[in-house]
Amino acid sequence: MTVNQAPFPLTRFRRTRAAAPIRNLVRESSLSVHDLIWPVFVCAGSNERQAVASMPGVERLSVDLLVEAAREAASLGIPAICIFPYTDPSLKTELCEEAWNPDNLSNRAIRAIREAGIEIAIMTDIALDPYNANGHDGIVRDGVIVNDETVEALVKMGLAQAEAGADILGPSDMMDGRIGAIRAALEAENHTNVTIMSYAAKFASAFYGPFRDAVGASGALKGDKKTYQIDPLNAREALRCVERDLREGADMVMVKPGLPYLDMCRQVKDRFGAPTYAYQVSGEYAMIQAAAQNGWIDGEKVMLESLMAFRRAGCDGVLTYFAPRVAKILNQ
Ligand SMILES: NCc1[nH]cc(CCC(=O)O)c1CC(=O)O
């Protein structure tokens, strides 16, 4: 950027800030309902809602209630929801077979939303952790998370989701080579228009804690995810992962977590120009909600400001648990 401002008092930044109409004119970015993806948790049963203690305001919903929630999201103009299943512990195994069961909870939810004719894009999560007896995103053999065998399982899982009617597959597992393998399988099975949003720059973060409660994976998880998720200190490695995933056929890429990693959002957008999203994860949501509930911050204003920050940092959209609340405000 070239510095071409005249010195004070010829330049006064407060001139363009003095009144709302001019502030509206000079605003550099925007936040719209079309920038939102709503992550939702689905549980078994009917007419069932379960509060998630560490995420005040978030509930797991049974499929019938999830369909109604999707209908409301669509009517608010939210373009996509992202489904995460709470899996009964009795369905978790060492080989995670439930992950590619065509009738697992997640696939039933996808079908129900599709069959209801709701105009909303359905995103999924591809990772084995909800189905894994030991809580990891990959298959564990002799204490090691094995890459290539996990990728084979992820391909089966992704295909089952595509068959059920998913529009956006979201591999969040961080195994190497999974984007290429999933893309090849989708092409071979004629799912040529199914998109992939790769969790490409996904860091090994403590901000995922409340989510693991929400999907019931925290009890099962032994150890940490540092052998597959990226070290929070490594920006260049994250950029190389994004480049690799785009070359393997990802349509969209994600940075996760969100606010502590805004530098990555900016770098990914500038460097690759691909559709770029951030995940404002469960821990970020919980911090804002907790401070708001204590009366320490204005929750609504902080929520909106946090989402504006993603847009300023170059993101095309944000996965956020605040999506319906924000949409209602933006639609006013
Ligand atoms: N692989 C599963 C997955 N998909 C999304 C999240 C986190 C989302 C959030 O914290 O809101 C996680 C947890 C993890 O990697 O441990």
pLDDT digits (tens, 9 = 90+) for 57-107: 999 999 999 999 999 999 999 999 999 999 999 999 999 999 999 999 999
Domain with 145 in it: 31-330
Query: CA distances (Å), 217 to each of 214, 287, 332, in order?
Result: 8, 20, 38
What local confidence, expressed as pLDDT, does residue 254 receive?
98
Closest atom of ligand 1 relative to the 172 alpha carbon: 1
204 within a domain of the structure (yes/no): yes
21 within a domain of the structure (yes/no): no
Closest atom of ligand 1 relative to the 127 alpha carbon: 1
Q: What is the DSSP letter of 9?
A: T
Q: How far is the CA of 225 from the centre of ligand 1 (A)?
A: 11
239 within a domain of the structure (yes/no): yes
Q: Is 211 in the pocket of ligand 1 (CB under 6 A)?
A: yes
User: Can you tell me the ipTM of this complex?
Assistant: 0.98
Q: Is 125 in the pocket of ligand 1 (CB under 6 A)?
A: yes
What local confidence, expressed as pLDDT, does residue 317 receive?
98
Testing ligand 1's pocket by substitution, the residue of 208, 213, 218, 226 carrying the most ligand atoms inside 8 A of its CB is: 208
**Could you tell me the pTM of the whole model?**
0.97
Query: CA distances (Å), 226 to each of 20, 196, 202, in order?
Result: 47, 24, 11
16 within a domain of the structure (yes/no): no
239's tokens: 């950029």
Nearest CA to ligand 1 atom 5: 172
What residue has token string 């994004």? Answer: 242
What local confidence, expressed as pLDDT, does residue 1 receive?
67
Nearest CA to ligand 1 atom 13: 208
Q: What is the CATH number of the domain that holds 210?
A: 3.20.20.70
168 within a domain of the structure (yes/no): yes
Closest atom of ligand 1 relative to the 130 alpha carbon: 2
Closest CA to 105 of 78, 81, 124, 80: 124
Testing ligand 1's pocket by substitution, the residue of 172, 254, 256 carrying the most ligand atoms inside 8 A of its CB is: 172
pLDDT < 70 regions, the chain: 1
What local confidence, expressed as pLDDT, does residue 221 receive?
86
How far apart, in whole angstroms, are the C-alpha atoms of residue 269 and residue 260?
16
Q: What is the DSSP letter of 202?
A: E
What local confidence, expressed as pLDDT, does residue 319 receive?
98
Closest atom of ligand 1 relative to the 282 alpha carbon: 11
246 within a domain of the structure (yes/no): yes
Closest CA to 85 of 58, 115, 68, 63: 63
60 within a domain of the structure (yes/no): yes
What local confidence, expressed as pLDDT, does residue 219 receive?
76
Closest CA to 265 of 306, 220, 307, 311: 311
> How many domains would you assign to the chain?
1
What local confidence, expressed as pLDDT, does residue 222 receive?
83
3 within a domain of the structure (yes/no): no
Q: How far is the CA of 332 from the centre of ligand 1 (A)?
A: 32
Give the catalytic positions in this structure. 202, 256
